[in-house]
Structure 1
């Protein structure tokens, strides 16, 4: 069922687990996420990076939305790392009700102004916004941020930022990285604890690929209720194709698609278990959850012409 990102995050936060948000690029990725979520009775999120929109366009958004509607468990659809107003506008007009306005590459004041403008736009459309302060190092979707350019989230600045922009969720930088960790991850949990104490919106941690179970558990205890996963799922896809081609075990395109889905689904299942969301789907079916989801859809009906008759 197509669900509200706000409801997923708030329910996860109240019950001390986290939502897995997985970047998808095609049908195989979508099927892997939904398949893993259904098999494990877990909520989940389908995330689309703007780079994927260059290839899939609004068709990829439509695919994700329809897959979420048809799913037997709560699934939200989210635009990830949106640095351009045009991408956010396209996503909102296409029916997405959750976006990340990413101005983290900008100086703080410009980030604040960009995020505030995008939040006002999204809220008029009935959508919610995730934003980021600090700067996460690493490489994702062809974008590279050197370690020297990375910057930890300042707790006091986070308070000001959330208050001024009215964002609905905040991605924090506490030593997490995009892509692969070149050494053992060292997260600043004291910083995270202070942010959680001062900031009263859901917290998000990007760069969950490669984080050990202990770091994930501690992050959840300190208020993180959404983890972004991209690298490990993509690696599973590519390894499946390479292995099949080299061994000549893949005889047809359909075979390669099936093998890729299975490989990605295995990784996604492992993450859902680590995030503690397995067998938690029923928590999102409470009257409170249904009310929030209905409100989200009603708001969206009035702004982008969302067809409620297509909902289950």
Structure 2
């Protein structure tokens, strides 16, 4: 069922686990996320990066929303890392119920202005907003941020930012990176603990690909209730395609696509277990969630 992102995060936070938000680009990715979530009775998020939105436009959004509605577990659809007001408007018009207004590339004051404006816009549509202060290094979907540009989230600044912008979730930078970790990851858990003590909204950690299980668990204990995953799922897809094509295993495109879906589904399932969301889909069966699902069925 198409779920409220706000409900997913709030329930995960209350029950001390996290929601996996998986970047998708095509039907195979959507099927892999939904199938893994259904098999393991977990809520999940279908997440669209701006580069994928540019590629798939309204058709990709519609596919995600329809897959979420048809799913037997709670699934929400989220716009990731958007720096463009027009893309955010398009996503809201298309029916996404959460967006990330990413002004982290801007000076702090300008980030606050952009995020506040996008939050007002999203709230008018009944959607929630994730934002980011600090700057996460690494490479994802063609966007590269050098280590020298990275900046960890300042806990005191986070208080002012959340109060001024009225965002609903905050992506923190505590040593996490986009893409592959070139060195063993080192997360500043003391910083995360200070942020959690000072602000009372869901916390998000980007760059979950490659983080060891104990870091995932520690982050959840300190208040993270959403992890973004892209690199490992994309790698599973590409590796599967390469192996199948190079090995000449079958000539049917759908057979090759099926193998790729299975490879991604396995990687996604591993993350769902790490995030602690397996077997907890029933916790999202609140009266609000049921009424939202009913409205979706009625309107379609």
With structure 1 as the length reference, what TM-score do the two structures score?
0.94
Q: Does 1:309 align with 2:298?
A: yes
Aligned to 1:124: 124
Distance 1:133 1:242, change over 3 A: same
Structure 2 residue matching 1:99: 3-state secondary structure: strand
CA distance in structure 2 between the aligned counterparts of 1:8 and 1:153, rounded to whole angstroms: 24
Structure 1 residue matching 2:152: 3-state secondary structure: coil
Aligned to 2:154: 154
Structure 1 residue matching 2:173: 3-state secondary structure: coil
Aligned to 1:303: none
Distance 1:251 1:147, change over 3 A: same
Give the 5 Å matches for 1:245-264. Answer: 245-264=245-264
Q: Deviations over 1:60-107 (max 9, x none)?
A: 000000000000000000000000001000000111110000000110
CA distance in structure 2 between the aligned counterparts of 1:10 and 1:288, rounded to whole angstroms: 12
Aligned to 1:94: 94
Structure 1 residue matching 2:135: 3-state secondary structure: coil
Give the 5 Å matches for 1:1-312. Answer: 1-287=1-287, 289-290=289-290, 293=292, 309-310=298-299
Q: Deviations over 1:261-311 (max 9, x none)?
A: 0000000000000000000000000335446x47xx97xxxxxxxx65256
Moved over 4 A (4+): none
Structure 2 residue matching 1:138: 3-state secondary structure: strand
User: In the TM superposition, what is the alpha-carbon distance from 1:250 to its structure 2 partner?
Assistant: 3.7
Aligned to 1:301: none
CA distance in structure 2 between the aligned counterparts of 1:264 and 1:46, rounded to whole angstroms: 14
Q: Deviations over 1:224-261 (max 9, x none)?
A: 00000000000000000001111111422111110110
Q: Is the 8 A contact 2:17 2:276 kept in 1?
A: yes
Q: Deviations over 1:116-161 (max 9, x none)?
A: 0000000011110000000000000000000000000000000000
CA distance in structure 1 between the aligned counterparts of 2:124 and 2:297, rounded to whole angstroms: 19
Structure 2 residue matching 1:259: 3-state secondary structure: helix
Q: Is the 8 A contact 2:137 2:150 kept in 1?
A: yes
CA distance in structure 1 between the aligned counterparts of 2:55 and 2:115, rounded to whole angstroms: 26
Q: Deviations over 1:196-218 (max 9, x none)?
A: 00011000000000000000000
| Structure 2 unpaired stretches of 5+ | none
With structure 2 as the length reference, what TM-score do the two structures score?
0.98
Structure 2 residue matching 1:225: 3-state secondary structure: strand
CA distance in structure 2 between the aligned counterparts of 1:55 and 1:244, rounded to whole angstroms: 25
Compute the RMSD of aligned alpha carbons: 1.3
CA distance in structure 1 between the aligned counterparts of 2:221 and 2:182, rounded to whole angstroms: 25
Q: Is the 8 A contact 2:19 2:45 kept in 1?
A: yes
